Structure 1
Amino acid sequence: MELAPGLRRIGNDIIAVHLIVTDEGMTLIDTGLPGHYADLTRELAALGRPLSDIKGIVLTHGDSDHTGFAERLRSELGIPVYVGSGDAARAMGEKPPSPPKDRRRIGPVIGFFAYSIRKGGVKMPPVKEVVAVNDGDVLPLPGAPEIIGMPGHSPGSVAIHVPAVRAVFVGDELTTRSVLTGETGPQPAPFTDDQAGSSASLEKLAGLDVDFVIPGHGPAWTQGAPALIAAYREAEAARR
């Protein structure tokens, strides 16, 4: 699905993958679950572009519902996989800490896990080789993605700012639709290692001039970063 010229969305509001499309090649932001590989190939067929046009994968963090088919592209096509240095081990298979006891509603939880199973989430191959990135790096990939360190959801979580499409990808540093409760709007994301750190990291988005703030779960936000942060703070305060 096209969000804007050069910006494609694969998947849905439960789990999403994004593609930066330029004449020189493409950059993939996150890789969802293994079953999203088929969705990617269908999207590329519609664009008339081969898999080899993907020049790199940039992960917002190393959780398994974001690394899904990264190893397949890396091993079969030699496509490099970039991830925040603090999450390199997680992307390569290290188990994250036990998740916090987030609020849950039975319907959304069943929907999330049923979708995950349908998309191959039972067996999640780790990435065997990654390229570690850090705050301030500009990657040599289509769209020239800029890395913004955003520790909190995980130690190596990053936001990926792509000025070419006026978008910033924030992974699970926040969500606009909780997979555990179904609640919509900007809010703290579930399964977060350090919620206080995640909340503080959000301020790094404040000065960005973007049309899209895009989480890994939930719809893209199109009302600007300051309004997103304000809405997030309201949701955060309501939980106290």
Structure 2
Amino acid sequence: MEIIELPIEFDFNGQKQKIYPSLIVLNNDLTLVDTGYVNFLPLIENEIIKNGYKMNDLKSIIITHYDDDHIGSLYDFKSKYPWIKIIASEIESTFISGEKKAERLVQAEEMLPMLAKEEKEFGIWFVQQLKSLKHISVDTKVRDGDKILDGQCTIMETPGHTSGHISLYIPSINSVITGDAAVNEENKMVIANPHFCLDIEKAEQSLRKIKSLNPKNIFCYHGGKLVL
């Protein structure tokens, strides 16, 4: 098994930014972890092909949580490659399918009236961005401790950033894919956007949970790979 970073550079609000979706390679089958913003499908396709793989080998997509920079292009992937199986936690699957209103949308709508004048325009845009995400059904709903990908990948519930957030532990290569349970800031694992965590106490517990595994390789969606 191998994990490949897919660095995606883009302009956001006038600034250069980068995210790092992960590509899991197992017996020539590919699993993508998170899909970037809306319209990021061609950017991610290019990175996969650049690494020598074919899109026909993409068998599944794992969603760590329902934020627009992680789920934005999921609908496009499923539309273009209908055989792909979508995997997410039971909690996040209810937001992905539209069964429940997404927690991040609830939070953004509640914060909107309290934003300063200079922040209001972005706040309105963000609410509309979340509302415009297309819903799609989840094929496999997972819980803490579940094993997927031929038993080689263990699901870790890592709530805090959102209530249903999951990370992925691959013991054979002593690696964790963290989603937003941890980010790489100056070669240190820290909590992602603590001010926007839905439960900061649980986010701290989840970070400790990841650290307790003593992983060698930590694949952070924000900040990139961290080697300990």
**Could you say which TM-score interval applies, normalised by the shorter chain?**
0.7 to 0.9
CA deviation map 1:173-224 (0-9, x unaligned): 23234xxxxx88433222211111111122222332422222222232212x
Match of 1:144 in 2: 152
2:4 pairs with 1:29: no
Structure 1 pair 6/175, CA: closer, same or farther in 2 (3 Å)? Answer: closer
Match of 2:198 in 1: 193
Contact 2:2 2:24 (8 Å CA) reproduced: no
Match of 2:102 in 1: 95
Contact 2:5 2:224 (8 Å CA) reproduced: no
The equivalent position to 1:38 in structure 2, one of 29, 39, 42, is 42
Match of 1:172 in 2: 180
The two structures have a TM-score, normalised by structure 2, of 0.74
Point out the structure with the larger strand share: 2
Structure 1 pair 211/48, CA: closer, same or farther in 2 (3 Å)? Answer: same
Question: How is 1:42-191 mapped onto 2 (pairs within 5 angstroms)?
Answer: 42-77=46-81, 78-93=83-98, 94-96=101-103, 97-99=106-108, 123-140=132-149, 144-177=152-185, 185-190=188-193, 191=196
CA deviation map 1:2-44 (0-9, x unaligned): xx96423231564221111233311111111133211222123
Match of 2:14 in 1: none
* Residue 51 (structure 1) shift: 1.2
Paired residues, number: 200
Contact 1:67 1:126 (8 Å CA) reproduced: no
Contact 2:160 2:206 (8 Å CA) reproduced: yes
Structure 1 pair 60/26, CA: closer, same or farther in 2 (3 Å)? Answer: same
The unaligned stretches of length 5 or more in structure 2 are 10-16, 112-118
Structure 1 pair 8/184, CA: closer, same or farther in 2 (3 Å)? Answer: closer
CA–CA separation in structure 2 for the residues paired with 1:76 and 1:144: 27
Contact 2:19 2:224 (8 Å CA) reproduced: no
Structure 2 counterpart of 1:162, one-letter code: I
Match of 2:115 in 1: none
Structure 1 pair 122/218, CA: closer, same or farther in 2 (3 Å)? Answer: farther
Contact 1:8 1:20 (8 Å CA) reproduced: no
The two structures have a TM-score, normalised by structure 1, of 0.70
* Secondary structure, counterpart of 2:7 in structure 1: strand
- RMSD in angstroms over aligned alpha carbons? 3.1
